[in-house]
Chains A and B, each alone.
Chain A
Amino acid sequence: MSFIPGTQLVLRVFACAVLVSSGFGAASQSSLTRGPYLQFSTTNSMHIVWRTEGPTLPVVRFGKRLDALTQRSSEVVTRASLGVDGQHIPSKWVALRTKQNLALPKLHSAPIGTFQYEVRLTGLEPNTRYYYVVMDGEHPLTKVDASFSVVTPPPRGAHQRIRFWAIGDSGTGRQAQIDVYNAMLATVKRENHAIDFWLHLGDMAYGRGRDVEFQSRFFESYAPTLRGSVCWPTMGNHEGSISRGATGIGPYYDAYVVPTRGEAGGLASGTEAYYSFDWGNIHFVCLDSHDLERKPTGGMAKWLKADLERTKADWVIAFWHHPPYTKGSHDSDKEKDLTEMREYIMPLIDSGGVDLVLTGHSHVYERSMLIDGAYATPSVSENVVLDDGDGDPEGDGAYRKSQGIHPHEGTVQIVAGHAGANLGRKGTIPFMRKTIVEHGSVLIDVYGDTLSATMVNANGTTRDAFQLVKRGNVDLAHIALPWQPPEWKKPEHARANPATPAVDHKVLIPKNAEWQFMAGEHPRGRDWTLPEFNVSAWKTGVATFGFGDGTVRTEIAAPRGRHASVYMRRQFTIDQADKVTELGLVIDYKDAFIAYINGREAARVNVGRSAGRNAQKIKAREENGYSYVGLSVANLRDGVNTLAIEAHTATESPLDFRIDASLLLED
């Protein structure tokens, strides 16, 4: 199975018949716009979720054989986005705003006309493969295909080989996200060992966790895996920009269905913000580290304590977004959210007998030794490490704990926020055994008393491996002076990660395009950036504009005793401005520029202050060639938009000058 950028699972199956679907009373001419994807499962049930444009009669047919899908779903929750009073409602959806439809649970900010169906399949057998097809009444919306199938979890407590995938901070739409995903797919194919489910450690939908960002950066990116295995999520700070843990409202909470009443094992949380579930002999606990109270007097901490006291699983694995220990792109010694997870939550984790903690947020891979009681800020390694080996069975040997769940026998901490976002490192946590600044993800296998974890980088190379074995009775003691990782210093001339455009993008203005331009003089004020500006006096030419450079296509006069400047404008069209996730320039310039969209500044590079003839503190550009610069989309509108760019040199009487820009839209 390979990942194809831009692949969207949109199967347009138009029902010819007019369906009067239960409760909707509308003609069905539906198309899948999201999914289907699997959500929380128990040993005898499974959720399948999908969205359509317009209402349908939601049915899932399923069975143990692809050619015998004889069972039908009977339970469904329908949510809808039909707009709110005062909002513009497209005419084709006005008729759907019936009292009955408006009474349906609402989707936070999905496109108007979207219907989301959350179907629960019941009466399933544990550890059994089921095939399914999603229907609109009697019309299939998905192919009858083996990829639409899932294996239910094994019976609770069963000692069975379990494999899951853990990723964090992936949802950028960048090449790194795709590479990490493909590396995982290639690894499981090579090892002929598929994942049973996966954990997303948060930040799956950059930049603000909008519905449209979930769509492109999560649901479309991972569609092949989402249809065959359950993703158990935790909310990251980017999703938390809009979604709220306290109220359970927002695109994050629309996207996922998780157990709140202990349906999958564990103590009922009563909220989707945090929850637990059992899979075979493992108990998983998910916390909301972003926007809920972390103190021990808060509800989440009290629930965590009670949940851990109840479980009788062989293994306990906890996951959330903000790492208690990191020196990657974030510093847990300085940031409140992270320090609080360490000081308030980690004591409960240690006394509750948790074995492994998985987090994201910090864009790096960090993996600790076997540690216990590390609550001090700043982090120290003295007397908190129980085993300072590398945990590698082919190295220092596996970490060992006693059979069963015991307090203070140590956790291994994995920070896995390296599945797509730009990487970073601020230092070294003294009890981290591995700190690797590469993109990747983590595959974890649990079989009986042994947990094995490997970090696979974006090239498919295993960069870290360790094992945890829980067998017999093990005496563990805190080491006074454990092994220390080598000191790390920030490279003196470290360059920031260059920005890159989303892989899946559309070119709105190509390189070397024709622009209207003005050179050798400055326009008055900023009216020239406005769409309605009368541009008839300007010339037309093909970029690159400039002089003294081999790439120039439209030569302008080199000034003497002045900075060189050029002003250029071009129109472009956007269909649905509110659905734009990202806009950016691929731009070659010397030395500085300011870009405007419809009269509003959208990007500024190397111009310190002011603009036009008054532009000041202009810095020289050191690099050559095209680079990517994101643009603010605050002023985009439906229909025709105007991009205006002013470019300047850093020096007077320059020897060379150039500017060319291409405008990209994430598709």
Chain B
Amino acid sequence: MKMVAPTFKLPFSLLCVLSIVCFCRVSFSHDGPEHDIEELTAQIEKEGASADLLLQRAIEYQVIKKTAEAIRDLEQAQQLEGGSPTILRELGRAYFAAGKTNEALNTVTRGITAGASGSERASLLMVRSEILRPRKEYEKALADAEEAIMEHPNNVEWYLDRSQLHALLKKTKERVKGIEEGIKATGSGLLEIELVDALIEDGQHAVALKKIEEELAASRIQSSWLIRRAKIRLAAKQNEVAKTDLVAAINELNSRMSGTAVDPSLFADRGQAFELYGDREQAHKDYSVAKERGLSDEWINERIRATKK
């Protein structure tokens, strides 16, 4: 019997780029990114600027949050080696992080059309998909995600991104199918959880409930599964038992919240429990705290809007 293993194509051009990057520096230990930047700057002064050295320095600048310097280096690197998908991807990301979405979009699109292939092309497509989302261009973002997954079907994160795009576009059937594909390709447990949410959204409550009961039996912490079960029970007008689930979930979440140092995902979970329970004000508060503490995506924004008075 043979175990299944993924096969990757590595373009020769990428091998060449990587081998150049590898051979440029002798560094085997360092004193932090500032020191690396000093070393790279000295090397650039000594040998002249090359795309690889500039790319490496840009990465170090990003580590110490010097985005402007990183962009400057990446722009110069791109001038030196215009067609490099790696440089275009990193420059696109840097523009996006700096809020320059038009520049980001143009840069990444240039990388996609410049002939990148395999996993390089897939990465560029996913970066473009990510840039398109805040512009609410969900159909285009979904098309990029679909193509990226076709090129490289082993990335769990990309299936999750596609699932969220399906959810935003209310494509519930496609969402379920897409997640199932992801589970088949990766075996991810996180996609199994996403599938339960997708099944609930798609109205396949019996299938979802079976999985929820299995998870409730297996898990130490039950709140997220109790909330999912409550959703199904509320849809079935079993309000009292649903509320029992929600109270149990809220109690468990409260026991995990200590002082001011709280995991924002717990606020998001509790917000959902309060919202289902009918306490929109408390739900709104919890969603808002979750967002303030870094849990910011379309879903939480939508919940904040939905629970606003």
Of A86, A108, A269, A350, the contact of B188 (CB 8 Å cutoff): A269
Cα distance, A496 to B25, chains bound together (Å): 19
A330 at interface, CB cutoff 8 A: yes
**Using a CB-CB cutoff of 8 Å, which residues 332-357 of chain A contact chain B?**
334-337, 343-344, 347-348, 350-351
What is the minimal beta-carbon distance from B128 to any residue of chain A, in angstroms? 15
- Contact of B265 with A305 in the complex, beta carbons under 8 Å: yes
Chain B hits for A104, CB < 8 A: 7
Chain A hits for B1, CB < 8 A: 74-75
Cα distance, A268 to B20, chains bound together (Å): 36
A298 at interface, CB cutoff 8 A: yes
- Contact of A632 with B24 in the complex, beta carbons under 8 Å: yes
What is the minimal beta-carbon distance from B6 to any residue of chain A, in angstroms? 7
Of A74, A79, A301, the contact of B5 (CB 8 Å cutoff): A79
Cα distance, A426 to B32, chains bound together (Å): 10
**Using a CB-CB cutoff of 8 Å, which residues 129-176 of chain A contact chain B?**
169, 172-174
- Contact of B193 with A306 in the complex, beta carbons under 8 Å: yes
- Stretch among A63-71, A205-213, A464-472 lining the B interface: A205-213
Cα distance, A248 to B255, chains bound together (Å): 38
- Contact of A246 with B157 in the complex, beta carbons under 8 Å: yes
A278 at interface, CB cutoff 8 A: no
A321 at interface, CB cutoff 8 A: no
**Using a CB-CB cutoff of 8 Å, which residues 264-309 of chain B contact chain A?**
264-266, 293-297
Chain B hits for A297, CB < 8 A: 295-297
Of B22, B188, B258, B296, the contact of A210 (CB 8 Å cutoff): B22
- Contact of B2 with A262 in the complex, beta carbons under 8 Å: no
- Contact of B156 with A271 in the complex, beta carbons under 8 Å: yes
A94 at interface, CB cutoff 8 A: no
Chain A hits for B15, CB < 8 A: 84, 87, 109
- Stretch among B105-113, B218-226, B231-239 lining the A interface: B218-226
Known: A247-B8, A270-B156, A309-B224. A351 touches B33 (CB 8 A): no
- Contact of A77 with B294 in the complex, beta carbons under 8 Å: no
Cα distance, A279 to B132, chains bound together (Å): 43
Known: A84-B10, A120-B3. A207 touches B46 (CB 8 A): no
A180 at interface, CB cutoff 8 A: no
Cα distance, A241 to B28, chains bound together (Å): 12
- Contact of B261 with A421 in the complex, beta carbons under 8 Å: no
Of A75, A76, A207, A312, the contact of B28 (CB 8 Å cutoff): A207
A293 at interface, CB cutoff 8 A: yes
What is the minimal beta-carbon distance from A98 to any residue of chain B, in angstroms? 15
- Contact of A631 with B26 in the complex, beta carbons under 8 Å: yes
Chain A hits for B136, CB < 8 A: none
Chain A 596-639 per-residue mask, 1 if CB under 8 angstroms from chain B, else 0: 00001100100000000000000000000000001111101000
B contacts with A, residue count (CB < 8 A): 75
Chain B 187-215 per-residue mask, 1 if CB under 8 angstroms from chain A, else 0: 11111110000000000000000000000
Chain A hits for B24, CB < 8 A: 632, 634
Cα distance, A478 to B259, chains bound together (Å): 9
In the complex, which residue of chain A has the Cβ closest to the Cβ of B4? A77
Of B7, B30, B186, B191, the contact of A260 (CB 8 Å cutoff): B186
A407 at interface, CB cutoff 8 A: yes
Most buried by A among B9, B11, B18: B18
Chain B hits for A630, CB < 8 A: 26-28
What is the minimal beta-carbon distance from A249 to any residue of chain B, in angstroms? 5
- Contact of B123 with A247 in the complex, beta carbons under 8 Å: yes
Of A262, A306, A335, the contact of B64 (CB 8 Å cutoff): A335
In the complex, which residue of chain A has the Cβ closest to the Cβ of B223? A309
Majority SS at the chain A contact face: loop
- Contact of A604 with B46 in the complex, beta carbons under 8 Å: yes
B62 at interface, CB cutoff 8 A: yes
- Contact of A330 with B32 in the complex, beta carbons under 8 Å: yes
A106 at interface, CB cutoff 8 A: yes
- Contact of B32 with A336 in the complex, beta carbons under 8 Å: no
Cα distance, A106 to B8, chains bound together (Å): 6
Known: A84-B12, A261-B187, A271-B186. A105 touches B5 (CB 8 A): yes
Chain B hits for A422, CB < 8 A: 29-31
A299 at interface, CB cutoff 8 A: yes
- Contact of A270 with B2 in the complex, beta carbons under 8 Å: no
Cα distance, A582 to B29, chains bound together (Å): 13
- Contact of B11 with A84 in the complex, beta carbons under 8 Å: yes
Of B7, B25, B186, B293, the contact of A105 (CB 8 Å cutoff): B7
Chain A hits for B177, CB < 8 A: none
Chain A hits for B98, CB < 8 A: none
B119 at interface, CB cutoff 8 A: yes
List the count of A-B residue pairs having beta carbons below 8 Å apart: 235
B63 at interface, CB cutoff 8 A: yes
A405 at interface, CB cutoff 8 A: yes
Known: A85-B12, A351-B262, A601-B47. A77 touches B224 (CB 8 A): no
In the complex, which residue of chain B has the Cβ closest to the Cβ of A374? B261
Chain A hits for B47, CB < 8 A: 600-601, 632
What is the minimal beta-carbon distance from B149 to any residue of chain A, in angstroms? 12
What is the minimal beta-carbon distance from A22 to any residue of chain B, in angstroms? 10
- Contact of A77 with B5 in the complex, beta carbons under 8 Å: yes
- Contact of A633 with B259 in the complex, beta carbons under 8 Å: no
- Contact of B193 with A87 in the complex, beta carbons under 8 Å: no
B173 at interface, CB cutoff 8 A: no
- Contact of B123 with A249 in the complex, beta carbons under 8 Å: no
A242 at interface, CB cutoff 8 A: yes
Of A208, A296, A373, the contact of B264 (CB 8 Å cutoff): A296
Of B10, B26, B260, the contact of A584 (CB 8 Å cutoff): B26
B160 at interface, CB cutoff 8 A: yes
What is the minimal beta-carbon distance from B22 to any residue of chain A, in angstroms? 5
B171 at interface, CB cutoff 8 A: no
- Contact of A105 with B8 in the complex, beta carbons under 8 Å: yes
What is the minimal beta-carbon distance from B3 to any residue of chain A, in angstroms? 5
Most buried by A among B22, B257, B294: B22
**Using a CB-CB cutoff of 8 Å, which residues 391-409 of chain A contact chain B?**
405, 407-408
What is the minimal beta-carbon distance from B127 to any residue of chain A, in angstroms? 10
Chain B 156-174 per-residue mask, 1 if CB under 8 angstroms from chain A, else 0: 1100100000000000000
What is the minimal beta-carbon distance from A264 to any residue of chain B, in angstroms? 13
Cα distance, A76 to B10, chains bound together (Å): 23
Chain B hits for A374, CB < 8 A: 261
- Contact of B155 with A329 in the complex, beta carbons under 8 Å: no
- Contact of B63 with A363 in the complex, beta carbons under 8 Å: no
Of B8, B155, B188, the contact of A246 (CB 8 Å cutoff): B155
Chain A 205-245 per-residue mask, 1 if CB under 8 angstroms from chain B, else 0: 01110100000000000000000000000000000011010
Chain B hits for A663, CB < 8 A: none
Chain A hits for B63, CB < 8 A: 335-337
- Contact of A306 with B261 in the complex, beta carbons under 8 Å: no
What is the minimal beta-carbon distance from A333 to any residue of chain B, in angstroms? 11
A127 at interface, CB cutoff 8 A: no
Known: A242-B21, A296-B295. A268 touches B6 (CB 8 A): no
- Contact of B10 with A350 in the complex, beta carbons under 8 Å: no
What is the minimal beta-carbon distance from A601 to any residue of chain B, in angstroms? 6
**Using a CB-CB cutoff of 8 Å, which residues 36-90 of chain B contact chain A?**
43, 46-47, 62-65
Chain A hits for B188, CB < 8 A: 268-271, 303
Chain A positions within 8 Å of B, measured between CB atoms, are 74-77, 79, 84-87, 103-106, 108-109, 118, 120, 169, 172-174, 206-208, 210, 241-242, 244, 246-249, 260-262, 267-271, 292-293, 295-303, 305-312, 329-331, 334-337, 343-344, 347-348, 350-351, 363, 372-375, 383-384, 405, 407-408, 421-422, 424, 426, 478, 496, 578, 582-584, 600-601, 604, 630-634, 636
6 closest A-B pairs by CB: A373-B261, A270-B188, A270-B186, A630-B26, A309-B221, A421-B29
- Show 10 residue pairs from A and B whose CB-CB distance is below 8 angstroms, ordered by the A residue: A118-B3, A207-B25, A244-B119, A249-B10, A302-B190, A303-B189, A310-B221, A335-B63, A336-B63, A336-B65
Q: Given A248-B6, A336-B62, A375-B261, list of 20 further CB < 8 A pairs? A: A105-B8, A172-B28, A174-B28, A241-B21, A247-B154, A249-B10, A262-B187, A268-B192, A270-B189, A271-B154, A297-B296, A335-B33, A350-B261, A351-B256, A351-B263, A383-B259, A408-B261, A630-B27, A631-B26, A632-B26
